[in-house]
Chain A
Amino acid sequence: MASTVQQSEMSAGEIVLGLLIEQPDSCYHLDKRIAERLGSAQFSRGAASRAVERLLERKLVRTADIEERAELRVVDGRKKTVYEATPSGVDHFERWLRASTQTPPVREELHAKIALWGSAELPRLIEIVREAELACTMQLQDSNREKRVERQVGGASDWERTMQLIVSAGEAMWWDARIKWLQDVRMYLEREHARRQSTAPPRRTRAPAR
């Protein structure tokens, strides 16, 4: 199925660092927390451990030596290393948090394909757009389900709920705009295809209406 992933400039490094400042944790749990908090950003499983490696090199995090949070250390009978932020890690994160935010570049596969498609084989392009549209509705549906579970679990403070609402609104509206663009593209291409069929050199049989 076609990829419609937004190429995000959001770095896993800062997110992992922020989560470790909130609470020392293992890579296993970090992956879960990233998915909960930033589901639509679609960081792959294992993103946390790669980020932790880079953060370790830069001495922004270190392995934590804490006995009281033993539940974090063993998952499925396997021991996990727990990491925590260093003071310079906290500094780095604070600077990142307060720095101005850049506009993310719109740079993704489907745009390139449409730009380079040429005039042949319109039906295949329409199919690709249709797949992307369906994939987006599924993605929105999935992230929405996760958010709902989170809300039902509860335990969040008013502040956390407000922030969750704002983040989730941003995500939902992004997918909304995306789906509408894909709807427009699909309908436009379908019309264009129908127009070409009807003005094509005379043929004995008319193309069946879809």
Chain B
Amino acid sequence: MDPVLSLRGVSLSFPRGRRHVVRVLADVSLDIHAGENVTVLAQRSQGKTSLLRVAAGMERPDRGSVRFAGQDVWRLSDRRRSRLLSGEIGLVERAAPHLDVPVITGVALPLLDRHGRRGAYARAKRALAHVGASECARQHWGELADSERALVALAHGIAREPRLLLVDDLAATLGLGEHADIADLLGALAAERGIAVLLCAGEMGPTPNCDRIASLGGGELLVAPATPAKGTNVLEFPGEHRRRASS
């Protein structure tokens, strides 16, 4: 079966004047299958958001291919590509919403087109309940605590019941227990609903609940292989036993 998201040799840079370019992504390849939960660890301004925007089909890379369920998203018409983003791909950012409306309305708004008023609200309610933020439904964004905002943002992402969930540094600024809750939620979304999850994080967090981890820095994505050979400890040096034994 095709991976839900497949990036191949993706490069992205932004020009700075006539001579210079800022290299954001250099020859990045990554496959994420249904039900797989992948965390990319990157520091500030190292291309986290760019990677997510490329994965969402919002940013066209200079080179390389972006495939969603086997389809090259840049061979689709603009209309079909934007339908992917409004239906099958959920992008979770923690930015304040543009409209100051109650939380449930904010979550329901993007669904109105496709599901009608009642359908949209029912889905929004379900999504908020799923992340455990039902009691925030009538509040406004400004009244929410950081941890509640993270949950509401996640509800935004899953309300459309996407196949691919792209998450931008959701748990930054959260405490240990709250961070762990978000990690568990993302893990459960992948394991139970079969959603492919790509989390770009500045912090690994206390309980990384993911299947694979990659490191993004200087445009380069280092992806740990999915299944290292059993019983081999890659960090074990031949001399290690002796050193430990004698200590």
Contact = CB atoms under 8 A, between A and B. Distances in A.
Contacts of A47: 244
Contacts of A144: 207-210, 213
Contacts of A139: 234-235
A43 B244 contact: yes
A172 B236 contact: no
B98 to A, nearest CB: 33
A138 B217 contact: no
B208 A179 contact: no
A187 B235 contact: no
Interface residue range, chain B: 35 or more
Contacts of B212: 141
Contacts of B26: 210
Interface string B205-241: 1111111111101101011110010000111110011
Given A144-B208, A165-B207, A180-B43, A137 B218 contact: no
A98 to B, nearest CB: 23
B203 interface: yes
A169 B176 contact: yes
Interface stretch (A86-94, A113-121, A128-136, A199-207): A128-136
Interface stretch (A1-9, A17-25, A60-68, A75-83): A1-9
Contact of A50 (B42, B208, B222, B245): B245
B1 to A, nearest CB: 22
Interface string A122-155: 0000000010011111111110110110000000
A5 B235 contact: yes
A31 interface: no
A4 B208 contact: no
A174 to B, nearest CB: 10
A29 interface: no
B140 to A, nearest CB: 32
B38 to A, nearest CB: 10
A140 B208 contact: yes
B41 interface: yes
B213 A137 contact: yes
B215 A169 contact: no
Given A176-B203, A187-B218, 7 more contacts: A42-B236, A137-B224, A144-B209, A144-B213, A165-B176, A165-B180, A172-B204
Interface of B: 26, 41-43, 46, 176-177, 180, 187, 203-215, 217-218, 220, 222-225, 228, 233-237, 240-241, 244-245
25 contacts: A3-B237, A5-B240, A42-B233, A130-B220, A130-B222, A134-B224, A135-B235, A136-B215, A138-B224, A138-B228, A141-B224, A165-B176, A165-B177, A165-B206, A168-B206, A169-B180, A176-B203, A179-B204, A180-B41, A180-B43, A183-B46, A183-B215, A183-B217, A186-B220, A187-B218
